[in-house]
Amino acid sequence: MHDRKGTAMEWSDLEVYLAAVRTGSYTAAGRQLGVNRTTIGRRVDALERSLGVALFEQTPLGYASTPAGARLLAAAEAIEREVAAMLAEIGAAGRPTASIRVAGTGGIGAEFLPELAAFRQAHPDIPVELLGELDPLDAVTHRRADLGLALVRSPPLHLTGVAIGTLQQAPYARRGTAALPPLGWGYGFEASLPGGAWRAANPAGEAARLAGLTMVNTWLELKQAVRAGIGSASLWCFAADAEPDLVRLSAPDPRHEATLWLVHRAKAPPGPALQTLIAFLGEAIGERIGGTGAAS
């Protein structure tokens, strides 16, 4: 595209501007796009020079879009929607056998392999790939995954999906074992999934190391370590209660509950195959965990 001065404007310029507006700062925009703050500032300055107008102005509440910036934002979002819709349509028509990539928080996706197996039996024409990602929100945002099984209160604005139900945690140990030390989350888990009240059910990172605990980085490793009698840990009740060699040590702690979501990109309408998988998993997983499958 070209502005009225005939200076070429690339889509990447608009992507930078969209990121700056949506994240609220050059630093956050840089993190989202994988560049530094200086690069974002330089790209926005160049865009303003090419257009001959200011896109941001200082207000008592910080920086805000100027009228020209607001107009550019609306146009950029319209282009983004059109491109996303076109890509979704092309993808559905041109790549019907492409695998649907699924990521789960802390590797919890592995817990739902029975549901994925049932889906494949019902829909053998739709291949599925389960990824080893720890943060499904990041994986879906950056298009490494098409669908995320995310443990969040609510997804960020650029993602949407279905809230399947609430998961509870309680401490468990191997049946017949004496008092065991707790297990902890490792540094990789802590770095990939900062924050979240549910994560605090088990020690993590440096605190776990200083306590001399055995540490793991995925949900499946944690459950298997408890089953092996290495230590005790807070586990998701729907899964741990089904293990005959595990015993619950106390009641679930409501502070460590989490909502399980199926999330996908908000601006890229899911194609027929992804819609089919979302509907299937929403019902199958919801039945298993006792959820309601309420749409966001």
Query: What pLDDT score does 77 carry?
Result: 85
The whole-number pLDDT of residue 7 equals: 55
- Residues sharing a CB contact under 8 Å with residue 237, sequence separation 6 or more, in sequence order: 167, 168, 169, 170, 248, 252
Identify the pLDDT of residue 115. 96
Q: What is the mean pLDDT of each run of 10 residues along the chain (296 residues)?
A: 53 85 84 86 88 83 81 86 77 67 91 95 94 90 94 90 95 91 91 79 92 93 96 95 95 94 91 94 93 41
- Report the pLDDT value the prediction gives residue 2, as an integer from 0 to 100: 41
Q: Are 167 and 238 in contact (CB under 8 A)?
A: yes
pLDDT of residue 95: 54
Q: What pLDDT score was predicted for residue 250?
A: 94
CB-based contact 102:146 (threshold 8 Å): yes
* pTM (predicted TM-score): 0.65
Residue 265: CB partners within 8 Å, gap ≥ 6?
84, 140, 141, 143, 158, 159, 160
Q: Tell me, what amino acid is at 217? A: N
Whole-angstrom distance, CA of residue 269 vs CA of residue 254:
35
Q: In Å, how far from its chain's centre is CA 166? A: 17
Closest listed residue to residue 216, CA positions, set 187, 172, 171, 185? 185
Could you tell me the domains of the chain? 11-93 (1.10.10.10), 96-166+258-295 (3.40.190.10), 169-256 (3.40.190)
